[in-house]
């Protein structure tokens, strides 16, 4: 398995030397500055690849191995294969990436909002901070700040009373912060920042789109793009929903093993693969993570390794340390290592530590939520330790 690190480009507050010092060899990145829906060019990809891979004298070599992500425009999620212009632009980006020798592309199919958290600096017992999804704060946003049409039908009477109390206790600054956390697009997001009016309008545009229809749109997209991926030796890896359940009354269709099985059955191309994210899948107690890794081993080309801890209500959770929380990381890595040993060197699984705690010096620095250097460094070191032990067996 190759050790990766997500890097947000030349203006990121974590430089490439930090990637080297963490011990990673592979970079996971994207052209985040290109607007969603605009085709990437070979020249743009080649320029970024050179920045990553042409090392200064005396520095360790890095390889840009995974594109995370080429965003899928909202029109594709709403219209499926009928969004022809948007899909053609996406294929053009794929072709540019492949022309530069990058063979793994991660993407997601979450409608309107990407990965979602209510709190970005929740203080944990160590004094570090973690990202958190608090169900009552989320409900307060949905019911009282966004005031979504029909939201009251998605919550029990007890849920609504708790949300009302949470909202009543909020200051204007609290409301602004919560709105920013949910609607303004977190780092790496493949959806657009939204104002509250725009958020409501985007939700209305999904009227009548249930899980079956959204899945058919994803299948239509895959049927259009996988021939181009196959022809160029590219693996497409679908990231799970985060969190893996409906938000804002919208369907989510990459949350369980059955969701992935349906997509692989519909589009059996070997280019149709999985980004195996333990943190996202681990939020659901009914997801058996080692079993999912075993079942879809041949489809896993990229892995996000992190852990989440479900809280008392079963719906709230926070990011735990990589070897803590509800993820059986040892069991997961046993499955991934077993699969990796069956592969040729050119097909090895690339993984990266995901969502680290904000800790030590990063507590006093400006950092990207979920992506501070030190917390991820700790996570990678812990994961590397397990891999070294498994290699010795």
Q: The domain spanning residue 240 has which CATH number?
A: 3.20.20.150
Do 220 and 315 belong together in one domain? Answer: yes
Residue 371 known to be catalytic: yes
| Domain closes at, from 157, 183, 200 | 200
Based on the domain organization, do 309 and 367 belong to the same domain? yes
Residue that finishes a domain, picked among 200, 222, 240: 200
Confirm whether 121 is a catalytic residue. Answer: no
pLDDT for the residue 346? 87
Say if 124 falls within a structural domain: no
Q: Flag whether 107 is in a domain.
A: yes
Catalytic option among 277, 318, 322, 357: 277
What is the number of domains present in the chain?
A: 2
Indicate whether 185 pLDDT > 80.
no
One of 122, 304, 318, 322 is an active-site residue; which one? 304
148 located within any domain: yes
Please report which confidence band the pLDDT of residue 188 belongs to, taking 50, 70 and 90 as the band edges. Answer: confident
3-class DSSP assignment, residue 222: helix
107 has catalytic annotation: no
Summarize the confidence of residues 250-258 as an average pLDDT. 98
160 with 24, same domain: the answer is: no
The residue among 39, 36, 88, 92 whose CA lies nearest residue 221 is 88
Q: How many angstroms separate the CA atoms of 45 and 146, rounded?
A: 38
Please indicate, yes or no, whether residues 375 and 296 belong to a single structural domain of this protein: yes
What is the average pLDDT score of the chain? 96
219 shares its domain with 348? yes
The catalytically annotated residue of 276, 354, 357, 362 is 354
d(CA 12, CA 5): 13
**Inside any domain, residue 76:** yes
206 is a catalytic site residue: no
Percent of the chain residues topping a pLDDT of 90: 96
At residue 190, the pLDDT reads 81
> Does 362 lie in the same domain as 254?
yes
**Of the residues 122, 167, 239, 322, which is catalytic?**
239
| Same-domain pairing of 193 and 109 | no
Q: Looking at the structure, do residues 94 and 217 belong to the same domain, yes or no?
A: yes
23-77 residue pLDDT tens: 999 999 999 999 999 999 999 999 999 999 999 999 999 999 999 999 999 999 9
Between 5-9, 88-92, 101-105, 188-192, the lowest mean confidence (pLDDT) is in 188-192
How far is the CA of 344 from the CAs of 23, 299, 355, in angstroms? Answer: 23, 15, 29
- Choose, from 107, 260, 276, 371, the residue flagged as catalytic: 371
The pTM score is 0.96
Task: Please give the pLDDT value at position 184.
Answer: 85
Using only C-alpha atoms, what is the Rg of the chain? 20
d(CA 393, CA 389) in angstroms, rounded, equals: 7
Q: Which of 255, 338, 266, 339 is nearest to 301 (CA)?
A: 339
Q: Residue 360: what pLDDT?
A: 98
Q: Does the annotation mark 11 as catalytic?
A: no
**Which of 200, 230, 245 corresponds to the end of one domain?**
200
277 with 356, same domain?
yes
On whether residue 147 sits in a domain, the answer given is yes
Between strands 2-6 and 350-353, the pairing is parallel
Catalytic site residue from 275, 355, 357, 362: 355
pLDDT category at 345 given cuts 50, 70, 90 is confident
Q: Is residue 122 part of a domain?
A: no
pLDDT surpassing 90 at residue 127: yes
| Whether residue 212 sits in one domain with residue 187 | no
What is the arithmetic mean of pLDDT over 208-226? 98
pLDDT at position 361 over 90: yes
The whole domain housing 154 covers: 131-200
Long-range contacts of 203-208 (CB under 8 A, 24+ apart): 203/112, 203/148, 203/149, 203/248, 203/249, 203/250, 204/149, 205/74, 205/78, 206/78, 206/111, 206/112, 206/250
Tell me if residue 318 is catalytic.
Answer: no
Whether residue 210 is found in the same domain as residue 196? no
Any domain includes 52: yes
Q: Is residue 69 part of a domain?
A: yes
158 and 267 in a single domain? The answer is: no
């Amino acid at each position: 398995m190759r050790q990766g690190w997500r890097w947000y480009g030349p203006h990121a507050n974590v430089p490439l030397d930090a990637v080297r010092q963490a011990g990673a060899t592979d970079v996971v990145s994207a052209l985040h500055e290109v607007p969603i829906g605009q085709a990437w060019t070979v020249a743009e990809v080649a320029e970024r690849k050179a920045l990553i891979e042409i090392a200064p004298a005396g520095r360790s070599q890095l390889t840009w191995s995974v594109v995370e992500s080429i965003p899928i425009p909202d029109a594709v999620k709403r219209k499926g294969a009928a969004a022809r212009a948007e899909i053609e632009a996406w294929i053009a980006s794929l072709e540019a990436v492949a022309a530069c020798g990058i063979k793994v592309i991660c993407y997601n199919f979450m409608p309107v909002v990407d990965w979602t958290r209510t709190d970005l600096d929740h203080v944990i017992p160590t004094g570090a901070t973690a990202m958190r999804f608090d169900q009552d704060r989320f409900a307060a946003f949905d019911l009282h700040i966004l005031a979504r049409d029909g939201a009251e039908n998605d919550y029990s009477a007890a849920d609504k009373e708790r949300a009302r109390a949470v909202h009543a206790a909020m200051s204007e600054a609290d409301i602004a912060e919560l709105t920013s956390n949910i609607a303004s697009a977190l780092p790496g997001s493949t959806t657009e920042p939204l104002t509250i009016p725009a958020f409501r309008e985007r939700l209305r545009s999904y009227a009548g789109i249930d899980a079956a229809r959204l899945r058919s749109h994803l299948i239509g997209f895959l049927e259009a793009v996988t021939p181009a991926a196959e022809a160029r030796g590219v693996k497409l890896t679908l990231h799970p929903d985060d969190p893996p359940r409906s938000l804002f009354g919208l369907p989510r269709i990459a949350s369980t093993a059955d969701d992935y099985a349906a997509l692989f059955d519909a589009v059996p191309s070997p280019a149709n693969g999985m980004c195996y994210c333990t943190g996202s899948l681990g939020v659901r107690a009914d997801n058996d993570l080692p079993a999912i890794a075993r079942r879809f081993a041949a489809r896993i080309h990229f892995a996000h390794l992190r852990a989440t801890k479900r809280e008392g209500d079963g719906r709230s959770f926070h990011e735990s340390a990589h070897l803590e929380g509800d993820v059986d990381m040892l069991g997961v890595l046993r499955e991934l290592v077993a699969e990796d040993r069956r592969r040729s060197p050119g097909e090895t699984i690339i993984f990266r530590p995901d969502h680290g705690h904000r800790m030590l010096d990063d507590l006093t620095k400006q950092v990207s939520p979920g992506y501070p250097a030190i917390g991820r460094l700790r996570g990678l070191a812990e994961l590397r330790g397990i891999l070294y032990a498994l290699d010795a067996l």
